Amino acid sequence: MNTIILPLFKKTVKAAAVAVGVYILSAIAALNVPAAVVGVLLENALIGAYMRLEA
């Protein structure tokens, strides 16, 4: 069961990281600095979770 869930979770985290990347770009385009900072922190957490899943 773990072998089925883990790849799906990896794909979900990767999709969320891409969505947050788009969010950061839109926040920068709107000159919304607090939203961009929150997006960068969230992106960092998602990439850390993805790297932890890869190991």
CA atoms within 13 A on the CB side of 41: 6
Residue in the block written with tokens 């899943």: 53
Torsion sign, CA atoms 32, 37, 40, 41? negative
Contact 46, 20 (CB under 8 A): yes
Residue 32 confidence class, pLDDT cut points 50, 70, 90: very high
- What pLDDT sits at residue 3? 78
What's the average model confidence in pLDDT over 7-18? 92
**Least confident stretch, 1-5, 25-29, 47-51:** 1-5
Give the global pTM. 0.83
What's the average model confidence in pLDDT over 30-46? 95
- What pLDDT sits at residue 2? 64
